[in-house]
Amino acid sequence: MKLLNHAGRAVLQLGDHRLDVEVASDGRFGPDPQGVFTDWCAFTAWASTHRGGCHRPEALVTLDPALLGAPVPRPPQVFAVGLNYRSHAEETNLAPATVMPLTFTKFPSAITGPYTDLELTGDTVDWEIELVAVIGRAGFRIPAERAWEHVAGLTVGQDFSDRTVQMTGSPPQFSLGKSFPGFAPLGPALVTTQELADPDRLALRCTVNGEPVQTGSTVEMIHPVADLVSMLSRICALGPGDVIFTGTPEGVGMGRKPPRYLRPGDLVVSEIEGLGRIEQRCVEQGGARTGADT
């Protein structure tokens, strides 16, 4: 199944049907898209009963893409992993960590929906397409072989980064440089792993103004999703609705010679196989229109 945040309400997508979760469940779940993760097992059990159809007409939702917000709008914890693809580590001249991956956060105020304006905070804002895993079942010290049982689903994310802020100081400010408003768009949907032939092997592609800048597959991760869940949960208790940005493959602007960064008017499209695409239009600081993001 797929789960949408439509105008701030949880919407379940089953094939071509979209159901308002609160209406269809008689108030048992929803309307808050973040709230469905707190009782994820019960929610998925309920959702599976709707596969066959028999939807009340008042629960049906007509999709307006402009109203889509982040499927996980207020995660309690946001983990972001750096240097998780060897090719990207090489282009940044940084050595990937082997035991514990480089981990930082994107503060939750950076999260927006899938189709947004991105306010450029300077002249060194860069793109990083990333697979984002969402925790459904709480856990601590989760063994890797059981890690997928704790994942509610996957979505597409961008780890936009102001490289000047990120690299300022010693040690550098990874978390702040990646947490300006709008720097963590998510969407268009949360997709459960049952929808995917192989959740560990998803093609990903980022284009700027139609030109492919990043192409790869999540199979190239040094630490795949299950390893990340397991490793992070050795230290932090993971809870429902937490998200993990899993790193980016090669092709970011910083690694180019000369470096290339985003400019007003640029369109960044980030697409992952089976999950869909998100689109950000770059605008000058102060130039963003107000979106439907919640």
Count CB neighbours of 28 within 10 A. Answer: 12
Stretch that binds Zn ion, among 23-31, 99-107, 153-161, 208-216 (CB under 5 A): 153-161
**Minimum CB distance to Zn ion smaller for 118 or for 292:** 118
Which is nearer to Zn ion, 159 or 250 (by Cβ)?
Answer: 159
Q: Which of 159, 242, 279, 293 binds Zn ion (CB under 5 A)?
A: 159
Closer residue to Zn ion in complex, CB, 84/294: 84
Taking CB positions, which residue lies at the least distance from Zn ion?
Answer: 159
State the number of binding residues for Zn ion (CB under 5 A). 3
Establish if 250 lies at the interface with Zn ion (CB under 5 A). Answer: no
- Closer residue to Zn ion in complex, CB, 129/229: 129
Binding range to Zn ion, per CB under 5 A, among 26-34, 38-46, 216-224, 246-254: 246-254
The correct pick among 128, 242, 250, 293 for binding Zn ion (CB under 5 A) is: 128
Cβ closest to Zn ion, residue 4 vs residue 131 = 131
Q: Which stretch binds Zn ion (CB under 5 A): 35-43, 128-136, 218-226, 228-236?
A: 128-136
> CA 276, 266, 280, 173 torsion: positive or negative?
positive
Please identify, using beta-carbon distances, which residue of 131 and 292 lies nearer to Zn ion. 131
Tell me the C-alpha distance between 123 and 125, whole Å: 6
What binding mask, one character per residue, do residues 80-119 give for Zn ion by CB under 5 A, x or -?
----------------------------------------
Nearest distance in Å: CB 112, Zn ion: 16
Residues in region 10-69 near Zn ion by CB under 5 A: none
Q: Which residues bind Zn ion (CB under 5 A)?
A: 128, 159, 248
